[in-house]
Amino acid sequence: MCQLRHLYPEIPMHRIRSAIVVFSFVVLAVVALTACGTKPAVAPIVPLAPTPNGAAPAQANQAACKQAEDAGMAAYQAGDFAAAVTLAQEAVTADPTCPDGWEFYRLATMTRAAGEYLRNLPAARYQITPEQSLAALKQDYVVVDVREPDEFTAGHIEGAVNVPLRSITQQLNALPAEKDAPILLYCRSGHRSAHALVILRMLGYTNVYHVQGGFEAYQTYLKEHVEPAATPTPIPTPMPEGDADDCS
């Protein structure tokens, strides 16, 4: 301050003090504004740590969904629909974004409901015997094999189309457009076809039936009643009278 007084003798001392105070406030304001305008350091984005099996968490969820879905499909094909629903729930819980998991969950719950419906039906409701099925084949029935493709390839009723039970709600285009058209379903033993029947009737198909006993009963009936019997042993032609040796 003494140096300033020496440099500017004409300026009163109180004005010099005021100028110093104002300058100090200006410096502090500039420092504060500079600090506010400084961008904070941004931490680098660290990728999600892999899980022990080497997949990212999302991939692990997808793998868990696929595993539960595969186990559920095995239970479904074995006819254990309650277990299939439980495993389908596990699949969509593991990965809620999996469309296949939700589609399987819908199918499993619908089939389980069909099973509960079947338990309250009379035993022979909507069933036709193998003998009656032969007559149906000569009419306008659309015959649908609800077994798996490998079962269908191994042998099936002539003229049947293969629509597996597990995908029947996705292949409705294989069925007649008219929902009152006659449809005949069958599987190996009648279990899966019964569930397919209920599903289709729930969807509005009013003229659906299935073969009692399935393809096994159908084949047995053919062997016992339709296929030609074994050729009988030829009966020797009797010799004409007078051609035999005369021993007298």
Report the share of the chain in percent with pLDDT over 70.
Answer: 67
Q: Which residue has the higher pLDDT, 36 or 101?
A: 101
What span, in angstroms and rounded, lies between the C-alpha atoms of 175 and 166?
15
Contact 16, 8 (CB under 8 A): yes
Count Cβ atoms within 10 A of the Cβ of residue 159 and give its class: 0-12 exposed, 13-18 middle, 19 or more buried: exposed
For the chain, the domains span 57-119, 127-226
Look at residue 158 in the predicted model and tell me its pLDDT: 92
Look at residue 13 in the predicted model and tell me its pLDDT: 53
Catalytic positions are: 187
Q: What value does the mean pLDDT take over residues 215-229?
A: 86
| 54-68, 144-158, 216-230: least confidently modelled range | 54-68
Q: What value does the mean pLDDT take over residues 163-183?
A: 92
Domain 127-226 has CATH 3.40.250.10: yes
- Confidence band for 179, pLDDT divided at 50, 70 and 90: very high
- Confidence band for 181, pLDDT divided at 50, 70 and 90: very high
- Confidence band for 227, pLDDT divided at 50, 70 and 90: confident
Q: Is the dihedral of CA 69, 75, 76, 81 positive or negative?
A: negative
- List the structure tokens of 60: 């692990």
Q: Which residue has the higher pLDDT, 39 or 107?
A: 107
Instruction: Cite the DSSP H helix spans in 120-184.
Output: 130-137, 149-154
**How many CB atoms are closer than 10 A to CB 22?**
10
Look at residue 177 in the predicted model and tell me its pLDDT: 92
Instruction: Give all strands of the β-sheet with 142-145 in edge-to-edge order.
Output: 127-128, 208-211, 183-186, 142-145, 161-162
Look at residue 118 in the predicted model and tell me its pLDDT: 67
- Confidence band for 248, pLDDT divided at 50, 70 and 90: very low
Please indicate, yes or no, whether the overall pTM of this predicted structure exceeds 0.85.
Answer: no
Calculate the average pLDDT of the chain: 74
Look at residue 228 in the predicted model and tell me its pLDDT: 62
Among left, alpha and beta (phi > 0; psi -120 to 50; other), residue 127 is beta
Look at residue 150 in the predicted model and tell me its pLDDT: 95
Look at residue 239 in the predicted model and tell me its pLDDT: 52
Count Cβ atoms within 10 A of the Cβ of residue 194 and give its class: 0-12 exposed, 13-18 middle, 19 or more buried: buried
Look at residue 41 in the predicted model and tell me its pLDDT: 39
**Which pLDDT tens digit goes with each residue over 119-160?**
776 667 889 999 999 888 888 899 999 999 999 999 999 999
Look at residue 129 in the predicted model and tell me its pLDDT: 94
What span, in angstroms and rounded, lies between the C-alpha atoms of 117 and 201?
11
